[in-house]
A and B are shown apart, each in its own frame.
Chain A
Amino acid sequence: MNWEPLFLTFKLALLTTVILIAIGIPLAYWLSNTGSRLKPVLETLVSMPLVLPPTVLGFYFLMAFSPNNSFGSWLDDWLGVKLVFSFSGLVIASVIYSLPFMVHPVQSGLSGIPASLTEASFVMGKSRWETLLKVQLPQIKPALLTGIVLSFAHTVGEFGVVLMIGGNIPGKTKVASIAIYDEVEALNYAAANFYSLVLFAITFCILLAVYLVNGNYLKRFWK
């Protein structure tokens, strides 16, 4: 059996999740605090991947990053980066595609913390950063876990965006979901079944773990 597409899928999901932690939490923090008039616009943009067909996103990525267009050729000329049909392009597309899955839980978690807690921390002389790290984030652990796991799982389940912008290059952009489609087209049902079964089992386990942890089921059995 060829494990490469599966390996690629989880590498992509892991990288995407790490990047989403780095940009999703600050973005959620800003959205939960701001009174800016830009907030609804930004919230809409963050949520767009939930409703748009993945192909639409993929299509515009393809247009934007193509070396035939000004932005794509600028990237190629100045940074030497080709984002179309490459793994780095897949990562960027996945980050945007999974953004709402990280931002939404964290944002609603942060908004749910009583204002007096953060204010108490400010009055004690603690900076915003220290307050976020030591007061706010520890209180939204379930929301953080949900955000991280959903981002990961959603990236694992990606198909349309990957197909549009990544194509089907073995070892570079051929992730498991594409491989399944590929094998079915080639009437190679055994291989398709293998990939499908692995994805099914792993995503089931991940999501089950989240529900167990957030529902405090584990504590009930272990205490």
Chain B
Amino acid sequence: MIKLDIYKQLQAATGTMRLRLDLNIESGQFITLYGASGVGKTSTLRMLSGLMQPDSGQISVGDEIWFDAEKKINLSPQRRKVGYVFQDYALFPHMTVLENLKFAQAKNQKSSSISDLIELMELGQLQNRKPETLSGGQKQRVALARALVQKPKILLLDEPLAALDSAIRHKLQGYLKKVHQEFALTTLLISHDVGEIVKLADYVFQLEDGKILKQGTPETLFIDQKLSGKFKFTGEVLKIQQEEIISIVTVRIHTDVVKVVVQHEEASALKTGDQVLVVSKAFNPLLYKIDT
């Protein structure tokens, strides 16, 4: 259980921003922080990892207190033992892939965990390459493996997939899901991609202006409010759910997600990741004014 109750005044491009958060995260959950740029998502991860100090508040993980402004407790990042994947991957350029992983080892740690990770992340071919010779997706896998070498309980991911194209993104989302389960992690992911969030997250915090605007499961946040109309869109199949008489296909159209009811026969022709055309003919579209 992670309890985060923090306040921090940040200097953003638009002026001073007050970040005020009160989060409770169950261990083992896959959490996403969602929101526009500059609302304090990265700062939240930095404060959780100890790289940034909140102005006031508390952070506790399990029964350990990591930060308490009043009691003047502030655990250094070295002692917090979190896995952190940076937006720019932060691979050490002068070390090979294997050396990067070895550097991450704790002093008395056995090296078997590294060979397991190399296998799990399929890095065997890349072991002796320098980061500069790797593609974005490969770098990402190395960074993820490196963050897991010390077997952290908490994994922090700062928009790790933002710079990758959709095919590689898709594959890496699979890796994220795999390691989250395999290592029994509590994962915090920053993401802008609704499809990605629906696919990966158990719970979403939507931030705006340093505060939590909405929170809930991805379904309640993104899917239930979406309406279909008499239009034609292309989208990507995210999820196929078999119900008793029908199937429900979740489709991502750009950054929005819709659910479509189909027959079992139609659903069996589809698989996750397929490109589909979403068409509506029988109903007149409705318009809802968006309150801003």
Contacts and interface: CB of A to CB of B under 8 A. Distances in A.
Interface of A: 114, 116-117, 119-127, 134-135, 138-139
12 contacts: A116-B86, A117-B92, A119-B51, A120-B90, A122-B51, A123-B77, A124-B149, A125-B79, A126-B103, A134-B103, A135-B92, A139-B94
Contact of B78 (A117, A122, A134, A138): A122
Contacts of B86: 116, 119-120
Nearest to A135: B92
B4 to A, nearest CB: 17
Contacts of B77: 119, 122-123
Contact of A123 (B84, B88, B92): B84
A119 to B, nearest CB: 5
Interface string B85-114: 011101011100000000110100000000
A121 B81 CA distance: 11
Contacts of A123: 49-51, 77-78, 80, 82-84
A134 B93 CA distance: 12
Given A116-B90, A120-B86, A125 B51 contact: no
Nearest to A126: B78
A174 to B, nearest CB: 44
B217 interface: no
B90 A119 contact: yes
Name the prevailing secondary structure of the B interface residues: loop
Name the prevailing secondary structure of the A interface residues: helix
B81 A125 contact: yes
Residue of B78, B82, B94, B104 with most chain A CB atoms under a 10 A cut-off: B78
B29 interface: no
B109 to A, nearest CB: 10
Which 9 pairs show the lowest CB-CB distances between chains A and B?
Answer: A116-B90, A120-B90, A116-B86, A122-B77, A123-B84, A125-B78, A138-B94, A124-B104, A123-B77
Contacts of A121: 92, 103
B150 interface: yes
B248 to A, nearest CB: 41
Contact of A114 (B88, B146, B150): B88
Contacts of A127: 78
Given A114-B88, A127-B78, A139-B94, 10 more contacts: A114-B90, A119-B77, A119-B84, A119-B86, A120-B84, A122-B76, A123-B80, A123-B82, A124-B104, A135-B92
A181 B79 CA distance: 60
A124 B150 contact: yes
Contacts of B82: 123
Nearest to B81: A125
Interface in B32-72: 49-51
Residue of A124, A127, A139 with most chain B CB atoms under a 10 A cut-off: A124
B10 to A, nearest CB: 16
Nearest to A137: B94
A23 B81 CA distance: 32
A217 B99 CA distance: 27
B93 A139 contact: yes
Contacts of B84: 119-120, 123
Nearest to B152: A123
Contacts of A139: 92-94
Interface string B205-216: 000000000000
A121 to B, nearest CB: 8
Contacts of B79: 125
